[in-house]
Chains A and B, each alone.
Chain A
Amino acid sequence: MTGPVTRPAAPRTDAERRATYRRLSPLTPVVRGPLLLVAFLGTSWQQLLGQRDRGLVAVLLAGLLVAGAVYGVASWLRTKYWITEEELRIDTGVVVRRSRRIRIDRLQGIDIVQPLLARLFGLAELRFDVASGSDREGTLAFLPHAEALRLRRSLLERRDDLRGPPSVPSAAPTAEEELLLARLDLRRLLVSLALSVEALLFGGLAIATTAALLMTGTEVLAGAVLPAVLGLALTVGRRLTSYYGFSLTSSPAGLHVRRGLTALSSQTINPLRVQGVVVVEPWLWRPLGWARLEVSVAGYRTTDADQVEASSTLVPVAPRAEVLAVVRHVLGSERDVEAVSLAAPPRRARWLAPLGVRTMALGQDPRLLVSRRGVLSRRLDAVPQERVQSLQLTQGPLDRAFGLVRVHVDSPPGPVRVVGEARDRDEAREFVGEAMGHGGAARRLAGWPPAQPRGAATPPTADTSQVNSPNPSGAESSAALPAEDSPAT
């Protein structure tokens, strides 16, 4: 089971490995079985309790346990994985066989997750994030924790080898060297949770119901409110357990997020796939100057909403200055969110957005598009110019009456949305023209070269010959010039 893993393995060892498959930890059925049982009990405990004959229930449960154990062992026997030079292959399935191949160079990240029970046995689950796949990502559950770590490191190193030098962000490939970017201490986590809307609602409701109970003595009200109170408490509690011990580190393999109290999770995010960042300042945190950092990562999909929240959060809570330092690290030193000058919408925009107009702002520089908004909670969204998917101007009848227009920067799915509401129409036009120019230059700079010089690639189809002459008033005029900006950096 212990492969040569600390260094990128030589081709010879690949050849050796190719023939031999590996198995998951033999403890897997032990960990899996109770999970199945719990799932079964969770869905059908009411029917079971309704049964008169307790002996029957016991027999049923015992049978279930045995069946689960048999299935678990069979499943373990039938699950194998191989690592070849270019592929990770996972074969699973007792009745229906499934063989999944994951190209190592397509791996976007590998997460390590430890549910509580697995953690007790020192096991961990590996989840492979393959951005292109539309179906579920591959998983390996469960492996001994140390082996999971080794496997992840060796796979990520292999990936970087396969991709070649250009995609490795820094020259020194020592995966052990990790730079600590952010760490969350318990005190701050507790304070930040106490200062959340859910916690306040929980406290308020709890106090109100207790008071009502004491004064009037009617339990009816408590019964009605109790589920809501419990739900709120659960939400807060889940955040506590999922963000407990949060740390963000950086290594040549990517950004690593580790967190969790009962279930440990460790994610790796490739900074090259970060599509944008957003610094959120919830209104209750603003007096303390705290903020949260979330990112949009291309192709990062998780199924349930809670996971999404967790997986897009790079810093759950920290002073704003620290958050901005992480932003600089994630986006690269040449992009400075704070250096981008933001412009407020014109005064007449207050007729359309009486409250929001005071905080709304939009701006760009050759590297970034940035917007700020929010009445109570503030947010600062930033998207690198080369990551823009499309730009949109929209204007409804009301906007039109005021000579205003909405500027929208489209990004892949995620929390980040750079948008400028109620902009002056002439300014918006200039903004889009400028963004087109910067975007083209930034995409070329980012190393996806259009081989031909600008303009030569227009196909010589007769009816598309374009008169793209420089035009001082049109939005395209600035799009026709960006070659001048590109040699920077």
Chain B
Amino acid sequence: MDELFTPPGVIWRRVSPRLAVVRRAMLGAAAVVLVGLLAVLAAMADVAAGEVVLGLLAVGVAMAAAWWLVGRSVRRWGYAELDEELLITSGALVRRLVVVPYGRMQYVDVHAGPVDQLTGIATLRLHTASPGTSAVVPGLPVDEAARLRDRLTARGETRAAGL
């Protein structure tokens, strides 16, 4: 782990590995759709068997890369609650560390899509007055997401700072 993006000395909490399951399931669904489309195209404009194999191979390679990236991204996603700031680290290729002072939070969103709900995870998003702040923690167990939201809101109130 790179100490630049996960500074040591604080407790880093990782997101649930279920996030990888959800994302890979969606990836698989996308692959099925893609292969289906390719099959229809191939049937319509009759192509050689070699080309079909080549196409499947390309999809396979892309899927493998995406599979690996999802795993890496989920492993690297984490957050740490300091006294004054929330730290969020993320990124499979482009690595990122976001520091949000509690007093700067405008509101906190917890969002769970249909697939997330099946697996019991949720996404937490912090909003500040700046649109540039990309403070997102996906893959939190639902109750943990709610607890974190409440803690953040409470701290935001005690440290509320005017703009």
Contacts and interface: CB of A to CB of B under 8 A. Distances in A.
A393 B96 contact: yes
Interface in A432-468: 432-433, 436, 439-440, 443, 446, 448, 450-452, 454-455, 457-459, 461, 464, 466-468
B10 A298 contact: no
B104 A389 contact: yes
A316 B51 CA distance: 62
A466 B104 contact: no
B83 A458 contact: yes
A429 interface: yes
Instruction: Say which size band chain B's interface belongs to.
Output: 35 or more
A389 B130 contact: yes
A393 B158 CA distance: 27
B131 interface: yes
B130 A395 contact: no
A479 B85 CA distance: 9
B38 to A, nearest CB: 30
A433 B7 CA distance: 10
Given A388-B104, A448-B103, A476 B5 contact: no
A484 B56 CA distance: 63
Contacts of B11: 464, 466-467
A479 B9 contact: no
B155 interface: yes
B103 A454 contact: no
A469 B82 CA distance: 11
A287 interface: no
Contacts of A410: 128, 130, 132-133
Contacts of A455: 83
Nearest to B97: A393
A476 B163 contact: no
Contact of A273 (B83, B84, B100, B163): B163
A458 to B, nearest CB: 6
Contact of B98 (A390, A433, A454): A390
A370 interface: no
B111 interface: no
B129 A389 contact: yes
B7 A475 contact: yes
Contacts of B101: 388, 390, 436, 439-440, 443
A468 B10 contact: yes
Interface in A362-405: 386-397, 400, 405
A450 to B, nearest CB: 5
A101 interface: no
A451 B4 contact: no
A477 B130 contact: no
B97 A466 contact: no
A362 to B, nearest CB: 16
A476 B94 contact: no
Interface in A284-319: 298-299
B98 to A, nearest CB: 5
B13 to A, nearest CB: 9
Contacts of B151: 459, 461, 464
A105 to B, nearest CB: 13
Interface string A176-192: 00000000000000000
Interface in B1-41: 3-5, 7-11
Contacts of B82: 466, 468, 476, 479
A393 B4 contact: yes
B99 A298 contact: no
B4 A466 contact: no
A474 B133 contact: no
Contacts of B5: 393, 395
A436 B84 contact: yes
Nearest to A455: B83
A468 B83 contact: yes
B115 interface: no
A275 interface: yes
A448 B162 contact: yes
Contacts of A272: 162
B145 to A, nearest CB: 14
Given A429-B7, A459-B151, A450 B159 contact: yes
A107 to B, nearest CB: 15
B161 A446 contact: yes
A471 interface: yes
Contacts of A332: none
A169 interface: no
A436 B99 contact: yes
Contacts of B134: 392
A473 interface: yes
B130 to A, nearest CB: 4
Contacts of A391: 98-99
Find the residue from A396, A433, A450, A471 having the highest chain B CB count within 10 A. A450
Contact of A298 (B83, B132, B163): B163
Given A405-B4, A474-B8, A389 B128 contact: yes
Interface of A: 131, 272-273, 275, 298-299, 386-397, 400, 405, 408, 410-413, 425, 428-429, 432-433, 436, 439-440, 443, 446, 448, 450-452, 454-455, 457-459, 461, 464, 466-469, 471, 473-477, 479-480
Given A443-B101, A466-B10, 17 more contacts: A298-B163, A389-B128, A390-B132, A390-B133, A391-B98, A392-B96, A425-B4, A440-B101, A450-B159, A451-B158, A458-B81, A464-B81, A468-B9, A473-B8, A473-B9, A474-B10, A479-B85
7 contacts: A392-B99, A408-B132, A411-B132, A455-B83, A468-B10, A477-B9, A479-B84
